[in-house]
Amino acid sequence: MNTRILAALVAIGLLQVALADDIAEKGRAVFQKYKDTVVTVRVAVSVSDGSGSDDNGGWANGAIVDPSGLTVVALSFLDPTGIYAKLDDQNSPQPNVKITSLRIIFEDGNEVPATVVLRDNDLDLAFIRPIEPPKSPLPSVDLSNSAEPKLLDNVVILSQLGEVARRAHSAAIERIETVVDKPRHYFMVGAHRSDTILSAPVFTLEGQFIGIGAMRAIAGATETDPSDSVLVVIVPAKDIKDGAAQAPAKAAAEPSDAPGKQDAPKKPEEAKK
């Protein structure tokens, strides 16, 4: 092989390794800066459909977006009836979901009771607060330091694992695969990250906040398989910031066992639709 060609191939290989190392290094910096803003939210609910009730529950990630402990999660995790209603073109009666317990769990295992203070069914977001304000400010995502990624940009997804993994934090680097502008603006990574990204914060490699993973369903969708009508998307930081600004400052705004009382007010342009 020609010596010059060989040298060029070696140089290209070294450049690729250097670029990969640079991406990893930036990802680690984002992880160290913001990992403590990611918590686990555990919910217990009572579901009734008129013929009886059943107790259920689960856990998901959440992102602290204010030092007071205001945390954002996907509303569909707490109450999926809004998603079900959009998929149901027969207007069937939806079950009633009553939140009976809601707790925020930190990496050290400390749990604090919380309550829902704001819901946005359209964006699939819920904002929750600790019932008792924290004694000191909590690490939080800087909502003023945000960015909108472009197609194929690298992004960092932060999450917290479960009890088996000692609630260790985790990071993944993915690329933006889809940018949707209408009727709602949002971003998407690969479908293989749907479970990871739900309720998880997403950042640029420079540490700018991009948004939170939530579910998006098509009202009256015609796909044979309902799962084809539901996507996990990244709700942009601007929408998160707007919701946080509307969230009541006191945790007593909506008891956790009385869902749906505090919906996000409609924007003027939405009210006309």
Question: 22-78: per-residue pLDDT in tens?
Answer: 999 999 999 999 999 999 999 998 887 767 667 788 899 999 999 999 999 999 999
pLDDT band at residue 272 using 50, 70 and 90 as cut-offs: very low
- For residue 151, pLDDT beyond 50: yes
pTM: 0.82
pLDDT band at residue 270 using 50, 70 and 90 as cut-offs: very low
Question: How much is the mean pLDDT over the chain?
Answer: 84
C-alpha torsion sign, points 151, 155, 159, 165: positive
Cα gap 156→201, rounded to integer Å: 8
Comparing 198 with 267, the larger pLDDT belongs to 198
Average pLDDT over residues 189-195: 92
- For residue 187, pLDDT beyond 80: yes
236: Cα within 13 Å, side-chain hemisphere: 14
Cα gap 261→247, rounded to integer Å: 13
- pLDDT value of position 226: 54
Question: 102-129: per-residue pLDDT in tens?
Answer: 999 998 889 999 999 999 999 999 999 9
C-alpha torsion sign, points 49, 114, 139, 237: positive
> Is the distance from CB of 78 to CB of 62 less than 8 angstroms?
no
Cα gap 104→243, rounded to integer Å: 19
Cα gap 87→246, rounded to integer Å: 28
Percent of the chain whose pLDDT exceeds 90: 59
